[in-house]
Amino acid sequence: MSFNKDRVAVVILNWNGKKFLEKFLPICIQHSKNDATIIVADNKSSDDSISYLRQNFPEIRIIENNENGGFAKGYNDALSQVDAEYYVLLNSDIEVTENWINPIIDLMDSDQNIAVCQPKIRSYSERTKFEYAGAAGGFIDKYGYPFCRGRLFQTLEEDKGQYNDIVDIFWATGACMFVKASIYHKFGGLDNDFFAHMEEIDFCWRLKNNGYRIVYCPDSMVFHIGGGTLPKISSRKTYLNIRNNFTLLYKNLPSSQIFKVFLVRLPLDGIASIKFLYDGGFKDFFAVARAHFAFYLSLPKHHKKRKIIQPKKVKGIYKSNLVIDYFLKKKRTFNQLSQNKFS
């Protein structure tokens, strides 16, 4: 089915990503121009991204944010200026494919409770394998460790059709997230305080807390480079991941579970920091400590948000410890996990 392209806005958030715009924007235009409006939201880039766009793609709308507020605020600022029924949050380092939009819009149109959807995401460099940031849909274990169908920790599965089913997931990746605009704004969008990393998990958790569905659609596929603005190994990324992980747990877990979860996570984070130190990652070692202190200092702010959310038990959390399953029990694929522990 073909749609009025004004219904769908593909919004690419850019920060010093001219090289990605050069490589992937023409492909996005080729496979999206009949089905969506394409917008580039720039997060105060210091390279010549803006001049490049104006010179080579005058038909593309550019939104210039006043600051680099990170992924979360960057999208919130930009989407407040976009009028559409559906938003597609698309990383600049993604290669889309033919007919990547319509299958997902068809699916989301079919059920008003589907708030968010993601396509199948494969690796750009290893094209038969799933990609780290999203793969075939995201989940989380009871201690807050995110994982995907097709990716457990650093193990990426080859796509052999094992995840070619439309299923409800716990979170959809922000690398390529389809979301109904009215729902995005109703729930305040992404949390600005996350800056980057795990803000999409927090957002999806809040939606699930209100009865909405998050869905994976295998009939749409994109290829993702990953680590486009931060290197894959980065103490900054370590800091953001740990700080934000604790934040999303505190905001969204029911009161009866918070103490038990944090009691387990504290020693596990301690072990992780020692492993960083053993491997020579001194900056990562200190990033873990900084992340914890930053979270504790922000507790009053997060507590106010938690009171608004009023967390309750939701389905889809893996009721086991992924660390034990992966490192001790040697479970390396999603299908090796006990499926009856998802609820």
> Bridge-partner residues for 120, per DSSP?
221
Average pLDDT over residues 67-90: 97
Which residues are CB-contacts of 58 (< 8 A; sequence separation ≥ 6)? none
Q: Which range of residues forms the domain containing residue 307?
A: 235-312
Q: Verify that 208 and 243 share a domain, yes or no.
A: no
Whether the per-residue pLDDT at 6 is higher than 90: the answer is no
| Cα–Cα distance for residue pair 342/147, rounded to 1 Å | 13
Predicted pLDDT of residue 280:
86
Q: Verify that 136 and 242 share a domain, yes or no.
A: no
Instruction: Give 1 or 284, the one with higher predicted confidence.
Output: 284
| Cα–Cα distance for residue pair 238/69, rounded to 1 Å | 18
pLDDT tens digit sequence for 93-112: 999 999 999 999 999 999 99
pLDDT tens digit sequence for 125-145: 999 999 999 999 999 999 999
Answer whether residue 123 is part of any domain.
yes
Confidence of residue 1 (pLDDT cuts 50, 70, 90): very low
Confidence of residue 289 (pLDDT cuts 50, 70, 90): very high
Whether the per-residue pLDDT at 84 is higher than 80: the answer is yes
Average pLDDT over residues 162-168: 98
**Residues 165, 167, 169, 171: is their CA dihedral positive or negative?**
positive
Average pLDDT over residues 206-235: 86
Predicted pLDDT of residue 278:
83
Say what angle helices 282-297 and 299-309 make with each other, to 10 degrees.
Answer: 60
pLDDT tens digit sequence for 227-278: 544 455 689 999 999 999 999 999 999 999 999 999 999 999 999 999 888 8
Q: Verify that 29 and 169 share a domain, yes or no.
A: yes
Whether the per-residue pLDDT at 302 is higher than 80: the answer is yes
Number of structural domains in the chain: 2
- pTM for this entry: 0.95
- Terminal CA-CA length for the chain: 34
Q: Verify that 213 and 299 share a domain, yes or no.
A: no
Q: Verify that 56 and 120 share a domain, yes or no.
A: yes
Q: Which of 190, 28, 30 is nearest to 93 (CA)?
A: 28
Average pLDDT over residues 56-75: 97
Answer whether residue 317 is part of any domain.
no
DSSP code at position 171: B
Residue written as token pair 């089905």: 35
> Which of 224, 250, 270 corresponds to the end of one domain?
224
Q: Verify that 150 and 216 share a domain, yes or no.
A: yes
